Amino acid sequence: MPNLPANLIAENVPLWPLTSMRVGGAARWLANPNTVSDLSTIFAWIQEQRLPHAVLGGGSNVLFGEGGFPGVVICTRQLKGIRLNGTSVVVAAGERLSELAKELNRSGLSGLEWACGIPGTVGGAVVMNAGTRDGDMAAVLENIQILTPSGVRRWPVEDLKLGYRTSDLRTGCLEGIVLEVALKLHRDEPAHCIQREELILKSRRKTQPLGASSGCIFKNPETGPPAGMLLDRAGCKGLRVGTATVSTLHANFIVNEGSQNAADVLALIDCMRTRVLEQHGITLRQEVKVI
Ligand SMILES: Cc1cc2nc3c(=O)[nH]c(=O)nc-3n(C[C@H](O)[C@H](O)[C@H](O)COP(=O)(O)OP(=O)(O)OC[C@H]3O[C@@H](n4cnc5c(N)ncnc54)[C@H](O)[C@@H]3O)c2cc1C
């Protein structure tokens, strides 16, 4: 057992319930800190022991393999708190993005309506630069507070290299755990914000499948048709490996219809990529992170 209070860390914890695709093996250790102070204690121990670690937010864009994770998975979803100051808001990394957006809409703070219906945490949304064609994190983010191996730092948005579903935190150029996020919004009538929210949620319901998934598996290519269209044209809709199936509503979504078997999902991802390469000569880049 690590030399840490038992309430900070648990051993051999299955990861499938912590991801939206609901597959994957167990973490050797799982830490679920409630406070930044607890997180700092855990992080210091990880550095001292030189253990591999992975950060998990809402688990809506990551997949763990059958082998799980051999080190410490740090789950940030218990880090909670929202502070409003005029049109600025500072949010702890574990707050849920979609719920935050809905709350802001009701307060007449506009800028995050596009995030309604996107699962996951605010911290994960920064790392992924989550977004839709209506907006993304880069457009509302001012700065973040991160825990790095050399302590807690504030990082301006300009230095995060946010791009299409990426950031320096995603690529590993910057090592750290997002603790809190400062957003800059603007005032609008709550009724207008809520109207936009309803339109966005309606469109999501029409175009995206329900069920266990990780959202879009692949990024859109920089030019030409989006990944979903390429996958559809390559005949991927309805393809199946085990209980992992390509959605018939949206060809860039895999829906897991039951098992916790990550190998099926990974095999299906390979099959989709190969089909698009063979039929369109395009190598799709993965959006979902396999850990
Ligand atoms: C049904 C569905 C629809 C979706 N629609 C969209 C969409 O429209 N647009 C979009 O952009 N995405 C979409 N996604 C993908 C996903 O919801 C987003 O990428 C989301 O922002 C990921 O947040 P998360 O907290 O779940 O991150 P996770 O999946 O837990 O992690 C994602 C990455 O961020 C890292 N990470 C997470 N939290 C932290 C932290 N605090 N500090 C450091 N690193 C961290 C992880 O290590 C990992 O590399 C969708 C997913 C689903 C299931």
State which of 69, 127, 213 you would mutate to test the pocket of ligand 1, scoring each by most atoms of that ligand within 8 A of its C-beta.
127
Q: What is the mean pLDDT of each run of 10 residues along the chain (291 residues)?
A: 79 97 97 95 94 97 96 98 97 98 98 98 98 96 96 95 96 96 98 98 94 96 96 98 96 94 96 97 96 93
pLDDT at 1: 58
Q: What is the mean pLDDT of the chain?
A: 96
For 64, residues 6+ apart whose C-beta sits below 8 A from its C-beta are 15, 16, 19, 23, 24, 25, 27, 262, 290, 291
Task: Kindly report, residue by residue over 217-238, the tens digit of the pLDDT.
Answer: 999 999 999 999 999 999 999 9
Per-residue DSSP letter, 6: G
**Ligand 1, pocket residues at CB < 6 Å:** 20, 54-62, 76, 93, 118-121, 123-125, 127-128, 130-132, 165, 169-170, 177-178, 208, 213-215, 289
CA atoms in the 13 A half-sphere facing the CB of 205: 6
Residues pairing with 288 in the sheet: none
| Cα(58) to centroid(ligand 1), Å | 7
Computed over its alpha carbons, how large is the radius of gyration of the chain? 19
Measured CA to CA, the distance from residue 290 to residue 214 in angstroms comes to: 11
pLDDT at 5: 76
State which of 112, 118, 146 you would mutate to test the pocket of ligand 1, scoring each by most atoms of that ligand within 8 A of its C-beta.
118
In the chain, % helix, strand, coil (3-state, to 5) comes to 35, 30, 40
Q: Are 123 and 199 in contact (CB under 8 A)?
A: no
Angle at 212 between CA 20 and CA 94, to 5 degrees: 20
pLDDT at 8: 85
Measured CA to CA, the distance from residue 92 to residue 19 in angstroms comes to: 20
